[in-house]
Amino acid sequence: MDGTFSYCPKYFYQLFTIHTVNNGHYIPLIFFLLPSKESIVYERALKALIDICKSKLSIKFNPKVCVVDFEKSLHNAIITVWPTIILHGCRFHLSQAWWRKIQNLGLTSEYKNDLSEIGQWLRWIFGLSLLEPENVGNLFANDFMSIKSTDERVTQFSDYLINMYIDEDATFPPFMWASCSISSKRTTNACESFHSAFGKYFYSAHPNIFVFLEVLKLIQVQTYIKINSIQK
């Protein structure tokens, strides 16, 4: 699941899409035009999807696993609608969030300096996502914190990690984003790529709704062709 903002029509906040994986191929399944990114909006959209699948297709739409970015309002909505679902945080978005924090704290030059001990420590941090979730907390506390620089900016960064990602009661605890697997299924890159390709159909941001729908119908035709080729 992922959203894009630049190429949704005027008067809407975002185009939100749900993809699935079939034999290694990523397929766009569902498109929403949403007025905001509030949790209640996501919740209503997902419940409407469930109702349509049941009434029109006689299908129970009940996904077991979902890969999403680190948007708490979306997480809350998904858990409300599907309480037993397993949420995986996108590795790409995780790295983006950590890198933005490094930049905001003024640690960019240290990070890029191969001879900097602070930079080395910061680069090692990104390996945490490749650990098993149950090992993240202990390794961070026993290994990373024991060699952490006393630089106040590094302390602020480590506090940010602990509160947002490391502690069991963090906003996004390790079970959501850490895994030894290097599978591409741990990212929303397929959605990102789709949105990038989708945007190339338009000459400007926020296109007219009728132009948007014509492009969406073209995408749907391409999707049908892709599904048929996969099933052969």
Q: What is the pLDDT of residue 24?
A: 76
Could you tell me if 198 and 213 are in contact, meaning their C-beta atoms sit under 8 angstroms apart? no
Mean pLDDT of 152-161: 96
Could you tell me if 199 and 6 are in contact, meaning their C-beta atoms sit under 8 angstroms apart? yes
Q: What is the pLDDT of residues 159-203, one digit of tens each?
A: 999 999 999 899 999 999 998 765 545 565 666 777 777 778 888
Q: What is the pLDDT of residue 137?
A: 94
Mean pLDDT of 36-59: 96
Percent of the chain with pLDDT over 90: 65
In DSSP notation, 69-110 reads -S-HHHHHHHHHH-TTPEEEE-HHHHHHHHHHHHHHTT-HHH
Residue 111 has pLDDT above 60, yes or no: yes
Q: What is the pLDDT of residues 2-46, one digit of tens each?
A: 888 888 888 899 999 998 887 777 888 899 999 999 999 999 999
Radius of gyration of the chain (CA): 20
